[in-house]
Amino acid sequence: MLTNDGYTVLFEKPTDEQVKAHHNYLTPAVLVNEDWPAKVRAALREYNTAELFMIGFGRIFWLLISLGALVGAAMSLKRKETCTQAFFLVLVTGYFIAASVLATGLSAGARFRYQIDAFLILFACVAVSYIVGKSRGHYVRNGLVTGFFKKLLQLPETRDIRDADDPETTLIYGRIIRKKPFLKRLYMEFYTELKALLPETKQAPVYVELGSGCGFMKDVIPNVITSDVLPLSGVDKQFSALNMPFQNNSVDAFLMIDVMHHMGDTRAFLKELDRCTRPGGKILMIEPANTRWSRMIYTYFHQELFDPAADWDFKVTGPLSSANTALPWIVFCRDRAQFEKEFPNLRVRALRPHTPLRYLASGGVTMRQLLPSFAYSLVKAVEFVFSPLNNYIGMFLTVEIEKIS
């Protein structure tokens, strides 16, 4: 707030054309001069109306950001979950503010603030999320920020969707996945990963995909039996995952993507999987992860509930409209000991968080693709570089469960 932010420098004339060098005279620092009124008038004469408007807008913008950052920092320090990280960021921010003031006084240049602009904006966003939100865990989703970005990025074909449980909605999403090269390629990689985890069998295997929707797992695993709770064309079987038409110990592997977090009666779902899976068979799924990065995305920018503090069960009003995207993490990570006690035949073999960026870049099934399709490999390479941090930034979780004797 007390430094030159660079807007006047952007529009100023060459030094030899100025009345006098004064690009800092439109900052609060000018008030330390006895003749500040004359200096301000001289500075104002150097700019036209449009330039003065932009300079004024910049001043107001950073004033609001600074005030919001103060509020957001205070809120972050107050919350037990974020106080440590917030304290560190406040120290870094305070250092650069002190360096700016002590090194060059109140006329310090914007270069001293560039290093902390991201922190100021981050804290300001925290403040905005509290102010415009309606309820805990849904601040931005129901507020001003999401409304703006939704209108800007939402795909035209999804704007009139009102019922997630309508089979037509699933058909629309299926067409979107096939139409978006970025998203379709990601799904193909998900299917390929699940295929690599399938158990070996000595006879014709029985692989069952739950919640197939309008996916295309058969393109990767041709002999998989596709299924869904909704009546959809192209799906082999229609049934509820809580009451499956398979004999005991008859299925070699169940495969699913984004299915379990819709199961309100989690124990009934797991019991049915336990009943149908043969010893040595597997239950393979890719579900939302609970990492520091994914928590922010799912809490503030996803339409489904994300509540990592919830119990295993929740009230079901529809097969797709009801969900807790944190449910797989709750069962297999937070309550791992409880899961192993209640389901001793089901052994968690692996939990792998991954894919922090590609799904976001694809826009998912409701938003426009954010990057050109040719950038897919580049984004994947970036994810590979940062893969050691997947426990902190992964958005998806691959779960591998084996049924033991």
Domain boundary among 97, 132, 167: 132
Whole-number Å distance between alpha carbons of 253 and 235 = 18
Residue 146 lies in a domain: no
Burial 197-221, CB ≥16 within 10 A → b, else e: bbbeeeeebbbbbbbbbbbbbbebb
Number of domains present in the structure of the chain: 2
Domain boundary among 132, 166, 192: 132
Contact 109, 3 (CB under 8 A): yes
Q: What per-residue confidence (pLDDT) applies to 139?
A: 42
Sheet of 207-210: strands edge to edge?
237-238, 224-228, 207-210, 251-257, 277-288, 396-403, 346-354
Residue ranges in the chain modelled with pLDDT below 50: 1-3, 19-23, 107-108, 134-145
Length of the chain: 405
Q: Which domain holds residue 255?
A: 156-403
Is this prediction's pTM over 0.85?
A: no
Q: What per-residue confidence (pLDDT) applies to 274?
A: 98
Please indicate, yes or no, whether residues 363 and 262 belong to a single structural domain of this protein: yes
Please indicate, yes or no, whether residues 196 and 96 belong to a single structural domain of this protein: no
The pLDDT tens digits of the residues spanning 264-283 come to 999 999 999 999 999 999 99
Please indicate, yes or no, whether residues 110 and 226 belong to a single structural domain of this protein: no
Please indicate, yes or no, whether residues 399 and 268 belong to a single structural domain of this protein: yes
Q: What per-residue confidence (pLDDT) applies to 136?
A: 45
Q: What per-residue confidence (pLDDT) applies to 138?
A: 46
Please indicate, yes or no, whether residues 169 and 125 belong to a single structural domain of this protein: no
Tell me, what DSSP letter sits at residue 17? G
Q: What is the DSSP string of 211-266?
A: S-TT--GGGT-TTEEEEESS--TT-SEE--TTS-S--TT-EEEEEEES-GGG-SSH
Q: What per-residue confidence (pLDDT) applies to 63?
A: 81
Residue 2 lies in a domain: no
Q: What per-residue confidence (pLDDT) applies to 317?
A: 92
Please indicate, yes or no, whether residues 364 and 217 belong to a single structural domain of this protein: yes
Please indicate, yes or no, whether residues 177 and 63 belong to a single structural domain of this protein: no
Domain boundary among 74, 100, 132: 132
**Chain centre to alpha carbon of residue 131:** 21
Residue 147 lies in a domain: no
Q: What per-residue confidence (pLDDT) applies to 391?
A: 95
Please indicate, yes or no, whether residues 206 and 318 belong to a single structural domain of this protein: yes
Q: What per-residue confidence (pLDDT) applies to 135?
A: 42
Whole-number Å distance between alpha carbons of 273 and 65 = 51
Please indicate, yes or no, whether residues 164 and 271 belong to a single structural domain of this protein: yes
